[in-house]
Amino acid sequence: MRKLLAAPLGLLGAGAATFAYASLIERNWFMLRRHEVPVLKPGARPVKVLHLSDAHLTPGRTRMIRWVRALDALEPDLVINTGDSISHPDAIGPFLELLGPLLDRPGVFVYGSNDMFAPTFKNPARYMWRTSQKDYKKRGGTPNLPYLELGAALKASGWLDLNNHMGRLKIADLDIEFAGINDSHINLDRYDAIAGPVDPRADLTIGVMHSPEPRNLDRFAADGYRLLLAGHTHGGQVCVPFYGALATNCGIDRPRVKGLHRWNASWLNVSAGLGTSPMAPFRFCCPPEATLLTLTPPP
Ligand SMILES: [Fe+2]
């Protein structure tokens, strides 16, 4: 009898230990990913860009709040937030606390679907056969999270709202042209509102979006944006050792589910994000992250 039970009990124990690791340890194991990106014109001095995404913040996530605030010590010249910042109606105060001194730096942002719609329980395994886009279509209705308040607070700190908008900032002697779109995952992207070739007088051009949907990446790249930033994928969130992400939850290919890659003539950074939906509070082989991109002239 003991022998018969040993295998199933062993499996159960291993499963419980893996879940405990994924939800208690790796989910709070914040990492800073660093890359150099040669997108500046010859002779320009390097510029540091801090890319944040997918915090999915709920009140009480003090470890994440402390870790992100401390990133101000990196002295980024620019902060870019690619959405899914909150997952709770009372998370705006905590999210501003998380940014803390970073709010005094130049910044830009777009929304993700989770800034607008509170999380509901779904079977996490469904990502294996389809994206979560259909869940939003089924739910319909109006947003039930205070994303406009979030946007107003960021704009009050001087950050640019790039949801289907363009903008311009002077940062460290550079004239930077930005264009961004609202979340394509729930069909709020309006690329036509920002379409057109980049201004050749700009020193740098950056395209910002939540979900790295190929149809939009192609248009940003064709219009001449040198650097593209996105989040949304969570890097797969639950990955298989030596294989990687099982799904991307959007149209991008699996090898580009996170990290710095080329997209045609542009550079694309996809953030694996800082958080998870509170309904799926675990990460495996895919730790939460922020990215520090040091933009440089060509080598
Ligand atoms: Fe997200």
The Cα 166–Cα 157 span in angstroms is 18
> Ligand 1 centroid vs 254 CA: distance in angstroms?
16
Per-position pLDDT tens, the chain of length 299: 677 788 788 788 888 889 898 999 999 999 999 999 999 999 999 999 999 999 999 999 999 999 999 999 999 999 999 999 999 999 999 999 999 999 999 999 999 999 999 998 776 666 666 677 666 655 667 899 999 999 999 999 999 999 999 999 999 899 999 999 999 999 999 999 999 999 999 999 999 999 999 999 999 999 999 999 999 999 999 999 999 999 999 999 999 999 999 999 999 999 999 999 999 999 999 999 999 999 999 99
Query: Which residues in 68-102 are b (16+ Cβ under 10 Å) and which e?
Result: beebbeeebbbbbbbbbbbbbeebbebbebbbeeb
Cβ–Cβ under 8 Å, residues 178 and 199:
no
Cβ–Cβ under 8 Å, residues 8 and 1:
no
> Ligand 1 centroid vs 169 CA: distance in angstroms?
27
- Domains present along the chain, CATH in parentheses: 2-295 (3.60.21.10)
Angle at the Cα of 60 (from 22 to 15), degrees rounded to 5? 15
Q: Indicate the pairing of strand 174-180 with strand 166-171.
A: antiparallel
> Ligand 1 centroid vs 274 CA: distance in angstroms?
9
What's the half-sphere exposure (Cβ side, CA atoms, 13 Å) at 258?
29
Instruction: Provide DSSP, 12-48.
Output: HHHHHHHHHIIIIIGGG--EEEEEEE--SPTTPPPEE
How far from 91 is each of 45, 107, 285, CA to CA, in Å?
37, 20, 27
How far from 256 is each of 42, 89, 96, 146, CA to CA, in Å?
28, 32, 30, 31
> Ligand 1 centroid vs 279 CA: distance in angstroms?
12
Dihedral sign of CA atoms 34, 241, 25, 89 in order: positive
> Ligand 1 centroid vs 103 CA: distance in angstroms?
21
> Ligand 1 centroid vs 77 CA: distance in angstroms?
25
The Cα 146–Cα 158 span in angstroms is 19
Backbone φ and ψ for 247, nearest 5 degrees, come out as -155, 160
> Ligand 1 centroid vs 233 CA: distance in angstroms?
7
> Ligand 1 centroid vs 271 CA: distance in angstroms?
10
Closest by alpha carbon to 286, among 243, 247, 225, 236? 236
The Cα 58–Cα 164 span in angstroms is 26
Residue 269: both structure tokens together:
């950074």
> Ligand 1 centroid vs 196 CA: distance in angstroms?
29
> Ligand 1 centroid vs 82 CA: distance in angstroms?
9
> Ligand 1 centroid vs 199 CA: distance in angstroms?
31
Burial class (CB in 10 A: 0-12, 13-18, 19+), 265: exposed
pTM (2 decimals)?
A: 0.93
